[in-house]
Copies of this chain bind each other. A is one copy, B any other.
Amino acid sequence: MDEVLKSYMAYRTKINAYNYIDYLVSWDSETEAPKECFKERSLYLGVLSEERYKIQVSDEFNAIVDELSKRNDLDADLAYEVSKMKEDIEKVKKIPMDEYVAYQVLLAESQNIWAQAKEADDFDMFAPTLEKIIEFNKKLCKYWETDELKGYDVLLNEYEKNMTTKEYDVFFNCLKEKLVPFVKIVSSKKLEYSNALKGKFDIDKQKEFVKYLMDVLCFDKNRGLVKESVHPFTSGYGTNDVRFTVHYYEDLLISSIFSAIHELGHSIYEQQGNPKYNDTFLSGGASMAMHESQSRFFENIIGRSKEFWSIHYNKLKDIFKEELVDVSLDDFYLHINEVALQFIRTEADELTYPLHIMLRYDLEKMMIDGDLKVNELPDKWNELTKQYLGLDVPNYSLGILQDVHWSGGSIGYFPTYALGSAYASQIFAHMQKDFDVLNNLETTQKINEWLKEKIHIYSSSMESKDIFENAVGRFDPNYYIDYLIEKYSKVYNI
């Protein structure tokens, strides 16, 4: 290997080392760190992120990346990786240092301000901070704009390459046209089942069932682990260290079950990546939407299917003998697929979930590309909630202040959630062509293998769009709409 390549590899490992530390410290912060430790912790994380930043923008490393990006003797993976790194460096350098630092300082406090505003149900407390965040994001759009990408498209492209308002408009208009009327029909009906899930569900027993689900979904415990945290999440570094969390509520049995299946979807994606990409910049999932497609595929399409529970409900009944004695498989199936219009996105059912996202997409577009002012946001939020969900928002906490994302600087992220769900339906339709998916659910091994071969094995060595199209063709939102309407027509006898 020549000297330039050797230097590049050494830099790559060094940058990965800092990223790895970030991953591990965040994991600790989210799961067990004692609350008084954050003073020193923030200080040290600041120092280390500055070190990493210096390396990434150092003249020496930039010269190496430049030189490699001009060479044509690199293999495809390395060429792609170098081009991504070059793009990253250029982007970072386009932000004036003082603005970048000021924004980091703002973000260090903004989530806390948001949390307090939400707690107090007071939008005015958060508005000035949100205004600054939007301002900075608008500047980002300017710094990063290209001939093809301007305004909100710049931000959308950050979270999902090749997805701009043009594509999202088609997608969301399709939802508006076909899903909103269908939701109106469904929500006028009521599910009839004999016995609902109620009472207390011992948390140790819930944990036992989560362990069972880990085996059903073929999670490799030698290369990962499960723990608890307030908000469930998955994080991983390479294929050998993949961790997820669950939150348990004594009176909400299905919360832990479906958040576990959801996070297991993310985890299987990470564990089934190609190990040859460990310690490169091409490990991990290809994009946010692709990641979400995997989690929602398992959570909704597999996890909320009658076929899945025909096999696994017995185990659940075994564990909760007394609690579930009167709850039949049919009862359970209807319960986990009940549609209930509600204000909070994270509590929404599979059918109405995308409408919550559509609302946020509309607002973000108006915030960044239009002239919607921050003080006009709450009214607009409420107006769209009425339009899409038919609900009257009673306060800020159940409306504009419900999500953490904007306070963390994430504008353009929400649409990937809906896109992920839509991807999942298209993947499902194609998987069905290869084998009878819902009749292979003792474990998900066959499904995992299919996903590995078609998607997971590419890690992030190609653009998400290319991996997706190679696997299941061009994105078509009708798979999603058809899936939802077909499924919920059956559930609701429509």
Contact = CB atoms under 8 A, between A and B. Distances in A.
A146 interface: no
A51 B32 CA distance: 28
Interface string A132-147: 0000000000000000
Interface residues of A, number: 38
A55 to B, nearest CB: 10
A251 B227 CA distance: 27
A44 B17 contact: yes
B279 A37 contact: no
A362 interface: no
Interface string A34-72: 111101110110011001000000000000000000000
Contact of A44 (B21, B48, B222, B240): B21
Nearest to A47: B17
Interface string A5-48: 00000000110110011001101100011111101110110011
- What is the oligomeric copy number? 2
B225 A39 contact: no
A169 B337 CA distance: 77
Given A16-B44, A40-B237, A47-B17, A222 B25 contact: no
A241 B21 contact: no
Contacts of A32: 225, 227
A390 interface: no
A493 to B, nearest CB: 46
B48 A17 contact: yes
Contact of A33 (B17, B241, B279): B241
A187 interface: no
A238 interface: yes
A51 B21 CA distance: 14
Nearest to A278: B40
B240 A34 contact: yes
A100 to B, nearest CB: 20
A224 interface: yes
A39 B14 CA distance: 15
Quick one: which of A36, A47, A238, A242 has the most chain B CB within 10 A? A36
Given A17-B47, A24-B25, A34-B240, A40 B279 contact: yes
Contacts of A16: 44
A198 interface: no
Given A35-B222, A36-B220, A40-B241, 20 more contacts: A13-B43, A13-B47, A17-B43, A20-B44, A24-B28, A27-B28, A32-B227, A33-B241, A34-B240, A34-B241, A36-B223, A36-B240, A36-B241, A37-B223, A37-B237, A37-B240, A39-B278, A40-B238, A41-B241, A43-B279
